[in-house]
Amino acid sequence: MPDHYTIDNSIPHFEGFSNASFGELLQGVGTDNDDFLITLPIDLHSKARFYPDATIGCVTVFPKYKSKVKKFIDTFLDRFGYTASGNIIITSDIPEGKGLSSSTADMVAAFRCMQNYLKVDIELEKVGQILREIEPSDGVLYPGSVVYKHKKCLFQKSLGVFPTTHIIAIDEGGVLDTISYNKVKKDYSIEEKTMYALLRDDMAAAFEKKDYRRVGFIAMQSALMNQKYNNKKNLINCINMLDQLGALGLITTHSGTCIGIILDPEKNNVDDAYQLIQKTFPEDNIFTYKTI
């Protein structure tokens, strides 16, 4: 496949999409000793286009550095006994290495693309088994906010859809590799595991009651508990701004580089909040995302 490509939508092809997640509303280890997280879908996406070409004899992936997508597709085809030949092109507006589910979204988009091409219906749990062989994944295979055991790639529970609102993100810089981060040994005490299990139950109850300010508070607790594993230098300063902004709460990318202030959808203060945060953290990159 050439080093450069031009996407031509006039050529017959098949597409698949995946949204990103802004880190995790909650991430930790429960009393069952399993790692889990809770997703928050946002309006960033990975898109996969598959252009069948019988002359190639296999599926190639572009950009070439998307090796996880290549491994996923090869394993997927082999596991289920399917054959395909052609080129998959991945385009994405999800920043990489920031904790926004970029690599999982690429693989999920590629899966949905191939599923459309093959016209097959695959159990998502079986797709999760393939994801697990490549890296811990972020639960974006499932719609809405979900409880997901990211190391085992097992769906646990759907919590529902967070209301549409804006997140003002403070990116503290650098990149963090998901695989390397998840290999770091984290010695959670029994007290911490109990707390994570309680927060998980509390989060589910908050979604059920549509108490999204409570959701934001629980997410803040998770961010604070994660400081000893991935310290965010601006976290306390961001927490101190929540009342001033009338925000619902705060979220972080636990295995990434970002802090997000979740604005109240009933307040029309996105521009003012962005300018204040940009002024407060002039050395960091500030972005605005929207929950979906």
Top pLDDT among 51 and 186 is at: 51
Structure token pair of residue 210: 């549509």
pLDDT over 80 at 289, yes or no: yes
Residue 10's pLDDT is 78
Per-residue pLDDT, 186: 83
Residues 36 and 168 in one domain: no
Portion of the chain with pLDDT greater than 70, in percent: 96
Report residue 11's pLDDT band, with 50, 70 and 90 as the boundaries.
confident
pLDDT band at 6 (very low <50, low <70, confident <90, very high): low
Shared domain for 133 and 67, answered yes or no, is yes
Distance CA 150, CA 216 (A): 21
Measure the CA–CA gap between 77 and 5, rounded to whole angstroms: 24
Neighbour count for residue 288 (Cβ, 10 Å) = 16
Domain boundary among 155, 171, 201: 155
- Decide if 3 is inside a domain: no
Reported as a single tens digit per residue, the pLDDT across 97-114 is: 999 999 999 999 999 999
Predicted pLDDT of residue 62: 95
6 in a structural domain = no
Packing angle of the helix pair 102-118, 67-80 (nearest 10 deg): 40
d(CA 70, CA 63): 10
How many domains in the chain?
2
Residues 6+ apart with CB under 8 A from 55: 85
Whether residues 191 and 230 share a domain: the answer is yes
Model pLDDT for residues 164-222, shown as the tens digit of each residue: 999 999 999 999 877 677 667 788 999 999 999 999 999 999 999 999 999 999 999 99
Q: Which two tokens stand for residue 47?
A: 């898109």
Helix (H, G, I), strand (E, B) or coil at 162: coil
Average pLDDT, the chain: 95
User: Which pLDDT belongs to residue 5?
Assistant: 59
Count Cα neighbours of 77 within 13 Å in the Cβ-side half-sphere: 19
Predicted local distance difference test score (pLDDT) of residue 2: 47
215 and 248 Cβ atoms separated by less than 8 Å: yes
Q: Looking at the structure, do residues 282 and 244 belong to the same domain, yes or no?
A: yes
pTM: 0.94
Quote the tokens at residue 266: 């009933």
C-alpha–C-alpha distance, residues 122 and 99, integer Å: 27
Q: Check residue 93 and give its pLDDT.
A: 97
* Pair 139, 198 in one domain: no
Q: What is the CATH number of the domain that holds 237?
A: 3.30.70.890
In a domain, 4, yes or no: no
Whether 40 and 200 have beta carbons less than 8 Å apart is answered as no
Are 36 and 127 contained in the same domain? Answer: yes
pLDDT (0 to 100) of residue 81: 97
Residue 190 placed within a domain: yes
Give the structural domain span for 73: 14-155
Residues 170, 96 share a domain: no
- Give me the pLDDT at residue 184, please: 72
Within this chain, do residues 142 and 166 fall inside the same structural domain, yes or no?
Answer: no
pLDDT at 88: 96
Q: For residue 116, is it within any domain?
A: yes
* Residues ≥6 apart with Cβ < 8 Å to 23: 40, 99, 100, 251, 252, 253, 254, 255, 256, 258, 260
Domain boundary among 130, 155, 180: 155
Whether 145 is covered by a domain: the verdict is yes
Residue 277: helix, strand or coil by DSSP? helix
Q: Summarize pLDDT for 137-157 with one digit per residue, the tens.
A: 999 999 999 999 999 999 999
Band of pLDDT at residue 131, cut at 50, 70 and 90: very high
How confident is the model at residue 139, as a pLDDT? 95
Same domain assignment for residues 22 and 139:
yes
Q: Is the pLDDT of residue 57 over 50?
A: yes
Per-residue pLDDT tens digits for 164-177: 999 999 999 999 87
CB within 8 Å of 237: residues ≥ 6 apart: 280, 281
Strand 154-160 and strand 14-21: pairing? Answer: unpaired
Domain edge (last residue) among 87, 120, 155: 155
Q: Show Cβ contacts of residue 276 under 8 Å, excluding neighbours closer than 6 positions.
A: 241, 244, 245
Whether residues 35 and 71 share a domain: the answer is yes
Dump pLDDT digits (tens) for 248-287. 999 999 999 999 999 999 999 999 999 999 999 999 999 9
Read off the CATH number of the domain in which 19 is found: 3.30.230.10
